[in-house]
Amino acid sequence: MLALIIRRLALGLVTVWLVSVIIFLGVEALPGDACTAILERDAHGEALAKCREVMGLNTPALTRYLDWSGGILTGDFGLSANGQERIAELVGYRLRNSLLLAAGALGVGIPLAIFLGVIAGLWRDRWPDILFSTGAIFAMTIPEFVAATILILIFAIWLGWVPAIVLTPADAPPLEFFPEFILASTVLTMLMIAHVMRMVRASMIEVMAGDYVQMATLKGVPYWRIVFRHALPNALLPAINVIALTVAWLLGGVVVVEVVFNYPGLGRLLVDAISDRDLPVVQAITMIVAITYVGVNLVADILSLALNPRLRSHQERGA
């Protein structure tokens, strides 16, 4: 058990390391660097050289990679491109806001998705299934920005319940951007429910057709007890990893939602940074998102190891 967790942890670290290499090399390969971005038209001759010296861009790539990655390990992401702001500070509140958004969507979305998925799976091809499944297809396919636009159209413009465009500073207390929070997390939750529900449904259908459900029926176990005690745990266990993968993937897509709603989170910062060619900030945010992604998957791995008796003893036999 422990050996397997250590193995997963090691793999996760390898992935994070690879991400850092990809990001660093990717930025290296781009034409121009932080100094050309800051100096813009003045980026030539002595000014450029001086700037590079100040920013430490003259040193070999390997040294800079080690400096940069070493900094990340201690939580220091360095300075933004204009050399004025510490990235760690820039990111701090926005990370909090983004996590808040994700937590809201997950907290509502996952239980609801499981509930709807179970219902749709049990009533396969009958009206609850058709209703939820079709709904899910719509929710999955309508682009986030379209859904967001429609919500703004309805709630801000026609109903006037929330202001259409607001600019809340990132460090404001969460209550101040509550309207944006509600709208943005609604869009995210819808997406999340759609994806996860479809998976739970498929899993449930598979399990309900299984031999042990038939056996439980012929043992005289009442229907709902079969559903909750025999079927549901077996339907959810193998789905944990898949759900985590989906959730982690959706969290990466928060970018668009944040931009649409002007939500003061990491995503909007990322888009702004790209527009400003603020590469250090882009690198930093990418690393944070990647670490979150790997972390979510790791948690799911360990969770399913801990909960699934079959995986657990497979491991024991192997060790």
Partner 1 sequence: MSTTTPAPRSLRILEILRAMMARPSGAIGLTLVAFHLALAVLSPWIVPFDYMAMDATITLAGPSPAHWLGTDHLGRDVLTRVMLGGREALLVTGTATPVALIWGGLLGVYLGLKGGWRDEIAMRLVDAFLALPGILPLLVLITVFGSGGEVLMPTLAFFFGIPVIRVARAAAHEVVARDFVSAARARGHRPLDIVRRELLPNVTDTLLVEGAMRWSWMLLGFSALSFLGFGVSPPKPDWGLMISDARVYMSLAPLGVIAPVIALSTLIIGINLSADALAKTLGLDHSRKAVI
Partner 2 sequence: MAGPPPLIDIRKLCVGFRGRAGAMLPVLHEVDLTVCRGESIGIVGESGSGKSTLALAAMGYLKHGLQKISGDVIYDGAEMFARRPAELARIRGGQLGLIPQNSGQALTPTMRIGTQIREALHLHCALPEGEHATRARDLLAQVRLPDPESILRRYPHELSGGQQQRVAIAMALAGEPDALLLDEPTTGLDVTTQAHILDLLRDLAQSRNMAMVYVSHDLGVIARVCDRVQVLYAGETVLEGPTRAVLHDPAHPYARGLLASIPRLGEKTLPRALDGRPPGPGEPREGCTFAPRCALATEDCRAATPPMLAGGADQMSRCLYPERVNEITGDQAGTQPHGCPEDSPCALDLAGLSIRYDRPGLFERLRGAARPPATVDGIDLHLRQGETIGLVGESGSGKSTILKAISGLLPPASGQITLGDGTALPLTVESRRPDQLRRIQMIFQNPDDSLNPRQSVAEILAQPLRLYFGLTDSALRARTVELLDTVRLGAPYLDRRPGQLSGGEKQRVAVARAFAAGPEIVLCDEITSALDVSVQAAVLDLLNELKAAHKTAFVFVSHDLTVVRALSDRVAVLYQGRICEFGPAAVVYGSPSHPYTSVLLNAVLTPDPDHAPRLMADDVTELAPPAHGCPFQRRCPVKCGTICDTDTPPAQQAGDGHVIRCHIPLAELRAKQTG
Are the C-beta atoms of 166 and 180 separated by less than 8 Å? yes
**Minimum CB–partner distance for residue 251 and partner 1 (Å):** 8
Under the binding rule (CB under 8 A), the answer on residue 159 touching partner 1 is: no
User: Residue 173 or residue 309: which is nearer to partner 2 going by CB?
Assistant: 309
Under the binding rule (CB under 8 A), the answer on residue 216 touching partner 2 is: yes
Under the binding rule (CB under 8 A), the answer on residue 126 touching partner 2 is: no
Q: Where are the alpha helices (DSSP H) in 226-278?
A: 232-236, 239-252, 254-261, 266-275
Under the binding rule (CB under 8 A), the answer on residue 18 touching partner 1 is: yes
Under the binding rule (CB under 8 A), the answer on residue 45 touching partner 2 is: no
Question: 3-class SS at 168?
Answer: coil
Q: Which two tokens stand for residue 171?
A: 């460090």
Count the residues in the chain.
Answer: 319
Tokens 């990322």 sit on residue: 270
Q: Which two tokens stand for residue 275?
A: 């527009």
35 binds, among partner 2, partner 1, none (CB under 5 to 8 A by kind): none
Under the binding rule (CB under 8 A), the answer on residue 212 touching partner 2 is: yes
Site for partner 1 in 292-311 (CB under 8 A): 293-294
DSSP 79: B
Under the binding rule (CB under 8 A), the answer on residue 150 touching partner 2 is: no
Question: 3-class SS at 86?
Answer: strand
Site for partner 2 in 1-20 (CB under 8 A): 3
Residue type, 51: C
User: Residue 57 or residue 213: which is nearer to partner 2 going by CB?
Assistant: 213
Tokens 């043992």 sit on residue: 219
Can you give the binding site for partner 2, defined by CB under 8 A? 3, 209-212, 214-223, 229-230, 233-234, 237, 308-310, 313, 318-319
